[in-house]
Amino acid sequence: MKPSPFTLHIPDPDIVDLRERLARTRFPDQAAGTEWAYGTDVSYLRELTEYWRDEFDWRAEEAALNGFPQFYVALDGIDLHYLHVPGVGPDPMPLLLLHGWPGSVFEFLDIIPRLTDPARFGGDARDAFTVVAPSLPGYGLSFQPGQRRFDVPEMADCFIALMHDVLGFAKFGAQGGDWGAAVASRLGFAYADQMIGIHINFMPAAGRDPSAFPDPSEDEKRYLVERAKWVREETGYQWIQGTRPQTLAFGLTDSPAGLAAWMVEKFRAWSDCGGEVERAIKRDRMLADIAFYWFTGAIGSSFWPYYARLHGSEEILPAGGKISVPTGYAEFPHEIFRPPQAAAARVFTDLRRWSVMPKGGHFAALEQPELLAEEVRAFFRGLR
């Protein structure tokens, strides 16, 4: 399990092929006056794909990723890709930084320096972390055609092996959103003795069962309404990715415009953008994330956790299970749903920090890297 240094370089012919495919895009019809009402707006995607084809600089985004030390290591039957960025401070804490879907390690390019070198941004060097940011198994560069698939508990097992057996950290912290929050929560449950604490900006392990609120408070009523709207209007992608992932993968693997449409709609719907996605997420960074899925061919394998959850995978924690490690939570106002603190406390029994954030959505590291970094530093400061 010896890591090998890695530098990303997408071959020039692959970039040429992408541009040629974008030039041949066939756009669908859209009923007049229905912009974004039924999914991705055609005029927006047409303009975005033209920019992607003619102006987007993949090499600049690739160089930004290569600005951080990257490695491969053979673990659990796959070659796992990860960034390993040493902290700049007297005693940097090891921190596992975990992305979700439709994200990637490109989410973290702005937040990593704020975590590894806080003094550079006006913070305290004593808050520095050594950051390990893997591509989740089946995502990005942690994917090769035909490899085994991982559910959330298996991802947690893989990352314990990475942090403990490969990198030699006896204990470490973890931070994540989306599937990254699920994996961090699983680590807090299954490997509590190896965790300093976990910090999450999405809470998938609490409040999932509406029957758990027999006499709801006003805050719980707000959450139940919020969650019901989410289930009704926003979960179609989960059912497709969780029941027919292979069928969907054909279209998104063959059409870059189709891939962009599938992903951009989520970036817009789940971010704090006021209906204009690029107010929350920079266009080039969003396209870098989409292009990363395109070049690696990993969109189909990225659906696997959804399929596993619907088809018998072990849950984040068993019924009645508790997560006892110190936990911090940042509640961003445009998160897809926000469980009440009382419901979270029934699962996370050492909930030490609950911060209601002033702005931001589901993609916190992309949208508000400064705010999220400050929160992570503040939470772990008390655990050093």
Catalytic positions = 178, 306, 362
What is the C-alpha separation between 263 and 39, in angstroms, rounded?
A: 11
The answer to whether the beta carbons of residues 334 and 267 sit under 8 Å apart is no
HSE at residue 86, side-chain half, CA atoms within 13 A, is: 4
The answer to whether the beta carbons of residues 96 and 159 sit under 8 Å apart is yes
- Residues in a beta bridge with 93: 129
- Quote the tokens at residue 18: 């992408």
